Structure 1
Amino acid sequence: MVGIGLLLAFGIIVILAVFFYFVPFLLWISAQVSGVRISLIQLFLMRIRKVPPQIIVRGMIEAHKAGLKNITRDELEAHYLAGGHVERVVHALVSASKANIDLGFQMATAIDLAGRDVFEAVQMSVNPKVIDTPPVTAVAKDGIQLIAKARVTVRANIRQLVGGAGEDTVLARVGEGIVSSIGSSESHKQVLENPDSISKLVLKKGLDSGTAFEILSIDIADIDIGKNIGATLQMDQAQADKNIAQAKAEERRAMAIALEQEMKAKAQEARAKVIEAEAEVPKAMAEAFRSGNLGIMDYYRMKNVEADTAMRESIAKPTAKPEK
């Protein structure tokens, strides 16, 4: 009998646990006390549809207490089933209502389903966010490099959160504006004297167009002087011109050496021809002896002339001074 009693008690406990799980009676009482009208059948059907009743009921209670009358249970369930964050959406709607920000339920759910934190966006609309840009390097017209850092104060644009560009786009546009502003300055000294000129020029360009933010201000936090890019470029150009001139000079020297070698070759060729011509003289004399055109006396007279010529040339040459 004791065993049967224990089994009955255990069965009753299980049945009650299953009943209160599918029919959250305490949650229904909490809703009724808070002024939210919802039936037990609807809570039971939420369990069947695999929608946590706690999330939906807490959202409805929060919205009701905040005075938001246009949020229904079906809308909250549909948003949950679509993969949205019901609690974030309700928090955002309550915050927007208290801050007098025009934010409807459809817009809030669209922002949430787009992957953005709608509650953080509402907070940023109330309390603007400051974004520090990375160091931006630019060169003024006088060739001096400047490294600038800026602080951008932005406020979330609720209407542009769906499909609007994020922080990276804002930072990229601000960096581009800083580079353009410094690059159009005649001297780096002008930028150092009036850094607010950069902010004014950048703000005029409407950099927040198409983004999820509204730029409130751009403040130049720091400007450092970098390298003298103009002088470096001139030095590089001078070195390049020097290398080109040296290459051309080397080319001319090589051509001169080649021409000299060519002339030497031609001189050797001419000498060879002279030697070849002189070698023909004995042959011609022998042929003249054989043919009888040249006699022995003619030959001796020619030798005497050669000897006389050689003697005259030796006399005409200057004598070397004797060494002391």
Structure 2
Amino acid sequence: MAGGLKSKVQKNSNAKTTVIKKLDLESSSSDIEIYAKEVLNALIADNLPPTPNNFSLYFDRLLEDKSENLRKQIHSILELEENNDDENTIVLEQNLKQGFSSIKHILTVTANLYKNMSLMIKILEKRKKELSNVPSEKEAVNIIGILEGDVSKLNSILKTQSSQMKTIYDDTAKIVKNVENETIFDNQFGVYNKRYLLTKIEQEIGLIKEFNHKSSLIMIELSRELKKSVNNDKAILLMTRTIARLLLKTSRRSDIVAHYGNGVFAMLLKHTDIESAQKASERLSDLVSNSNFFLADREIHLKISIGVTDVNPENSVEEIVVSAMDGIQKAYEDKNSDYAVSLRS
């Protein structure tokens, strides 16, 4: 009986705590909404257009005059949207500086190697002249012995410098690899890379858990049937780059456009439910299909396949990506549409 009563009290306590947390979140959201309206009114009063940059500037400036409690509430929410860009930049700069330092060392060692090789040539020329002027075999043998000693010394020096060169090269290669691992941009297609995409999806999962909004992910690739019919690697690469440009053209400022790999692109659509993501996919499909690509005297109509899924906070980043990829496969199986929805429970 006592155990049942204790269990009931504990359940009531947990429920009470949940209600309090919910009320706190609602209160926090309400305060921010009021503050956001105040920021907007301040922009209008100062005859400034309410662009994202101006809003951000006034948002930070007016916050300085608010209560400490409100500042803490807003900063706690803003922390969820941050992704340690400054820290990543610092690490990247440190790696770059180490890389430049290593390259400088390589150049120094290379210069020393060049000087020693030049010295070797001069010594050989000197001994050659000496040999041509000696009258006896004994003197020639002595000169050759001296030459062997010179070559041996230089060889020892060159071996040491070559070893230094290898060590510095290996260190530089590691630094370059670290820099590559910290990059967020795909130079081949001019969009974000896979690493940045996965980081942003993980960040969005955290935001959805906190604020309970809807976001979606779509994965896009050039039609496999089209690639098979073209059968030209260079042409396929150019068509894939065209797709990347069209994705950037149709995306919003808040969307994340990235190259996932092997010509597959992704768009993280923030604050976008599945229905809206489907409409976006349809618009994108129409935009691409109306874009033509010319290969020699042949006109090719571009075609893509799109997989659509939701960013479900109950799923991992990998599961969300796999779900979107499954959508691409469904789109191939459905001959009536270029996109398909795939959801995980």
**Higher percent of residues as helix:** 2
Tell me the TM-score range normalised by the shorter chain: under 0.3
TM-score scaled by structure 1? 0.25
- Structure number with greater Rg is 1
Higher relative contact order (CA 8 A, sep 6+): 2
